C-alpha cells in the first residue's frame, strides 16, 4: 500500500494497473504489456502520447520563462496569444477568457463570474443555475454541486441550496422516454418541464443553464434532434444564459471543433474548456464569457476596485504554450476533419456490436461513443455486472475502455487514432463483451 489517496476510486480496493510509458495511442504497463488507450486517458489526450513537437515546445517554454503570474497587471506573451486564439475560435460573442488549471475550477470561476456580474449590476437575486440529471461538471465544492452523479454528490454536503442549483431532465431518449413516446414528443415533454421549473422558481431568479453538449461521464448521451434549439428558445424567452461545458467535447472530439457545432447550439454566453485544450500535456482550463457579460465588470472597476478572483497558475506560461501548440497541431494536421471521418467509421463499427443481444444501445458522435449493456432488449434491465466484467476482459486483452453509468462502456480514443486502430478497438471491445458473456 502506498500513501496515495486515489481519486474516484473504491478506497478499500487494491492498486491494479501501473503504467510506465505511452506512445501514440498506446500505453504500456510496468511489465511492458501494450494497451490501446481507448479513453484518451480521461477523455483528454487528443494528440496521444509522446508528441515530440509538443514536448519540445514545453521544454522551450520552461527554459525561457518557467513561471509568471497574471495578477495585478503582470502578463506574458503566451497567455495573450492563447486568449486571443480562443476568443477568435469560439462561438461566444466578443469572447473574453479566464484561465485556470482544471475543468472543475473553471466551472467554479463561471459561478463566481455570474455572481460578480449580478452583484455589480445590482441584480443579486438572479443567481440560480439549472443543471441536469446525470450531469458531470467537476468535483470542487461549487462545481460538485452542479454534478448530478450520485457518487460525486452524495456524502459531501454539497451547498446546493446556497448556490441555487436546480435540476431538470436529462435528454436520454433510450432511458427517459415513456412507452410509445416519439423523440419529438419526448423533447417537447422534457423542455416543457424545463419551462415549468423556470416559471415555478421565477425566471428573474435564474442566471444560467449549464449543459455538456454531449454528456461524457454519465454514459455519453447524445440528445435527440431538436432538443437544444427547443431549450435555447425557452432560455431566450426568459433571458437565461446558455453555458456550454465543453471540457470533454471541445476541440474535435465530436467531429466538429466544438460540441456546440455538432449539437446546433448557436451562441452560448459561456463555455468551459480543459482536457484536450492542451491534450493533457500540461494542466490548463479556460472559462470563456461573452463581452456583454464582461463589459459591466470593467465599467464597475472604478468603484469596486480589483476583481478578486484568481489562481496562482491562472495563465501559467508553460500551460499556455502547450495549449497554443496543441491547437496549432490540431489545425495544421487537419485533426478536426480527421476526427469527423474516423469518428464516422468508429460509430459505424460500434453499431455492429448491436448483433450481440445484450447490447441495448450504441450511441455517440465523432470520436466519443458508448455501448449500453442490458439483460435483454425488451426489459432494458441494466447489465452492470456484465459491463464491469467486459471492462476487465478488455483490459486483459490490451484495451482500455471505461465503465460508466453502471452498465455502459465508454470509448473516447485520442484524435490521432487511425482506422486500423479503430478496428483493433472495436474488435477487442466486441470480444471482451463476448468473453464476459461466456464466463457468466
Ligand atoms: N466538466 C466536464 C464536462 C467534465 O467531463 C469534467 C471531467 N471529466 C469536468 C468538468 C471536470 O474537469 P476536471 O476533472 O479537470 O476538474
What's the pLDDT tens digit per position in 38-60? 999 999 999 999 999 999 999 99
* Mean of pLDDT values over 420-426: 98
Cell of 179: 412507452
State residue 13's pLDDT score.
Answer: 84
pLDDT, tens digit, for every residue of 76-105? 999 999 999 999 999 999 999 999 999 999
pLDDT, tens digit, for every residue of 103-146? 999 999 999 999 999 999 999 999 999 999 999 999 999 999 99
Where residue 439 falls among pLDDT bands split at 50, 70, 90?
very high
Query: Is the CB–ligand 1 distance for residue 149 below 6 Å?
Result: no
Query: Is the CB–ligand 1 distance for residue 147 below 6 Å?
Result: no
* Element containing residue 376 per DSSP (H, E): none
For the chain, the average pLDDT equals 97
| Spacing, Cα 293 to ligand 1 middle (Å) | 23
Q: Which atom of ligand 1 is nearest to the CA of 102?
A: 15
Q: What is the pTM of this model?
A: 0.98
State residue 351's pLDDT score.
Answer: 98
For the sheet with 26-29, list strands across it.
19-23, 26-29, 34-37, 399-400
Residue of the nearest CA to atom 10 in ligand 1?
137
| Spacing, Cα 136 to ligand 1 middle (Å) | 7
Q: Which of 6-10, 64-68, 355-359 has the lowest mean pLDDT?
A: 6-10
Asked if residue 1 has pLDDT above 90, the reply is no
Closest residue by Cα to residue 13 from 397, 425, 392, 436: 392
Q: In whole angstroms, give the CA distance from residue 409 to residue 353.
A: 12
Burial 179-207 (b: 16+ CB within 10 A, else e): eeeeeeebbeebbeebbebbeeeebeebb
Q: Which atom of ligand 1 is nearest to the CA of 275?
A: 15
Burial 128-143 (b: 16+ CB within 10 A, else e): bbbbbebbbbbbbebb
Burial 387-422 (b: 16+ CB within 10 A, else e): bbbbbebbbeeebbbbbbbebbbbbbbbbbbeeebb
Strand, helix or coil at 207? strand
State residue 2's pLDDT score.
Answer: 87
Task: Give the bridge partners for 46, in sequence order.
Answer: none
State residue 272's pLDDT score.
Answer: 99
Query: Is the CB–ligand 1 distance for residue 137 below 6 Å?
Result: yes
Query: Is the CB–ligand 1 distance for residue 108 below 6 Å?
Result: no
Query: Is the CB–ligand 1 distance for residue 280 below 6 Å?
Result: no
Query: Is the CB–ligand 1 distance for residue 116 below 6 Å?
Result: no
State residue 16's pLDDT score.
Answer: 80
pLDDT, tens digit, for every residue of 291-348? 999 999 999 999 999 999 999 999 999 999 999 999 999 999 999 999 999 999 999 9
* Mean of pLDDT values over 394-405: 97
Asked if residue 364 has pLDDT above 80, the reply is yes
Query: Is the CB–ligand 1 distance for residue 361 below 6 Å?
Result: no
Q: In whole angstroms, give the CA distance from residue 199 to residue 270.
A: 23
| Spacing, Cα 104 to ligand 1 middle (Å) | 6
Q: In whole angstroms, give the CA distance from residue 320 to residue 266.
A: 27
* C-alpha torsion sign, points 425, 429, 435, 438: negative
* Element containing residue 369 per DSSP (H, E): strand 368-373
Cell of 216: 461524457
Cell of 271: 463555455
State residue 290's pLDDT score.
Answer: 98
pLDDT, tens digit, for every residue of 265-283? 999 999 999 999 999 999 9
Which domains, and CATH codes, for the chain? 55-332 (3.40.640.10), 334-438 (3.90.1150.10)
Q: In whole angstroms, give the CA distance from residue 438 to residue 434.
A: 6
- Could you tell me where the DSSP H helices lie in 50-204? 52-64, 77-89, 103-120, 141-146, 150-153, 160-163, 173-176, 183-201
243 touches 211 (CB < 8 A): yes
**In this prediction, what percent of the chain has a pLDDT beyond 90?**
98
Closest residue by Cα to residue 287 from 306, 298, 263, 271: 271
Q: Which atom of ligand 1 is nearest to the CA of 107?
A: 10
10 Å CB burial of residue 370 (0-12, 13-18, 19+) is buried
State residue 14's pLDDT score.
Answer: 74
Query: Is the CB–ligand 1 distance for residue 252 below 6 Å?
Result: no
Cell of 359: 447490447
- Count other Cβ atoms within 10 Å, centred on residue 124: 10
Asked if residue 231 has pLDDT above 90, the reply is yes
Phi, psi of 220 (to 5 degrees): 55, 75
Amino acid at each position: 500500500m502506498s500513501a496515495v489517496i486515489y481519486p474516484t476510486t473504491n478506497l478499500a480496493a487494491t492498486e491494479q494497473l501501473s503504467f510506465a510509458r505511452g506512445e501514440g495511442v498506446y500505453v504500456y504497463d510496468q511489465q511492458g504489456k501494450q494497451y490501446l488507450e481507448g479513453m484518451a486517458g480521461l477523455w483528454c489526450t487528443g494528440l496521444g502520447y509522446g508528441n515530440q513537437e509538443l514536448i519540445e515546445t514545453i521544454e522551450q517554454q520552461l527554459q525561457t520563462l518557467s513561471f509568471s503570474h497574471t495578477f495585478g497587471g503582470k502578463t506574458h506573451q503566451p497567455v495573450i496569444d492563447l486568449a486571443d486564439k480562443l476568443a477568435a475560435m469560439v462561438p461566444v460573442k466578443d469572447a473574453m477568457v479566464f484561465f485556470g488549471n482544471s475543468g472543475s475550477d473553471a466551472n467554479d470561476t463561471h459561478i463566481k463570474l455570474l455572481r460578480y456580474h449580478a452583484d455589480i449590476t445590482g441584480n443579486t437575486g438572479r443567481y440560480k443555475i439549472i443543471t441536469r440529471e446525470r450531469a458531470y461538471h467537476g468535483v470542487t465544492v461549487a462545481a460538485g454541486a452542479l454534478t448530478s452523479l450520485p457518487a460525486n454528490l452524495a456524502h459531501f454536503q454539497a451547498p446546493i441550496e446556497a448556490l441555487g442549483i436546480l435540476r431538470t431532465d436529462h435528454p436520454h431518449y433510450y432511458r427517459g422516454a415513456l412507452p410509445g413516446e416519439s423523440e419529438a414528443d419526448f423533447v417537447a415533454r422534457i423542455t416543457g418541464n424545463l419551462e415549468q421549473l423556470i416559471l415555478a422558481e421565477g425566471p428573474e431568479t435564474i442566471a444560467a443553464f449549464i449543459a455538456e453538449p454531449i454528456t461524457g461521464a454519465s454514459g455519453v448521451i447524445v440528445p435527440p434532434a431538436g432538443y437544444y434549439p427547443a431549450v435555447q428558445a425557452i432560455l431566450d424567452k426568459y433571458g437565461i444564459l446558455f453555458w456550454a461545458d465543453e471540457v470533454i467535447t471541445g476541440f474535435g472530439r465530436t467531429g466538429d471543433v466544438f460540441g456546440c457545432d455538432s449539437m446546433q447550439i448557436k451562441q452560448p454566453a459561456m463555455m468551459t474548456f480543459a482536457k484536450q485544450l492542451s491534450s493533457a500535456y500540461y494542466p490548463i482550463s479556460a472559462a470563456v464569457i461573452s463581452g456583454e457579460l464582461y463589459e459591466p465588470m470593467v465599467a464597475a472597476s472604478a468603484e469596486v476596485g480589483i476583481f478578486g478572483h484568481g489562481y496562482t497558475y491562472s495563465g501559467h506560461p508553460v500551460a499556455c504554450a502547450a495549449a497554443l501548440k496543441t491547437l496549432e497541431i490540431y489545425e495544421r494536421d487537419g485533426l478536426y476533419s480527421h476526427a469527423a471521418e474516423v469518428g464516422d467509421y468508429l460509430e459505424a463499427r460500434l453499431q455492429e456490436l448491436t448483433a450481440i443481444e445484450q447490447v441495448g444501445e450504441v450511441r455517440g458522435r465523432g470520436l466519443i461513443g458508448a455501448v449500453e449493456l442490458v439483460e435483454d432488449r425488451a426489459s432494458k434491465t441494466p447489465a452492470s455486472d456484465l459491463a464491469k466484467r467486459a471492462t476487465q476482459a478488455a483490459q486483459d486483452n490490451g484495451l482500455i475502455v471505461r465503465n460508466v453509468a453502471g452498465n455502459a462502456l465508454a470509448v473516447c480514443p485520442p484524435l490521432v487514432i487511425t482506422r486500423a486502430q479503430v478496428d483493433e478497438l472495436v474488435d477487442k471491445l466486441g470480444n471482451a463483451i463476448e468473453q464476459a458473456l461466456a464466463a457468466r
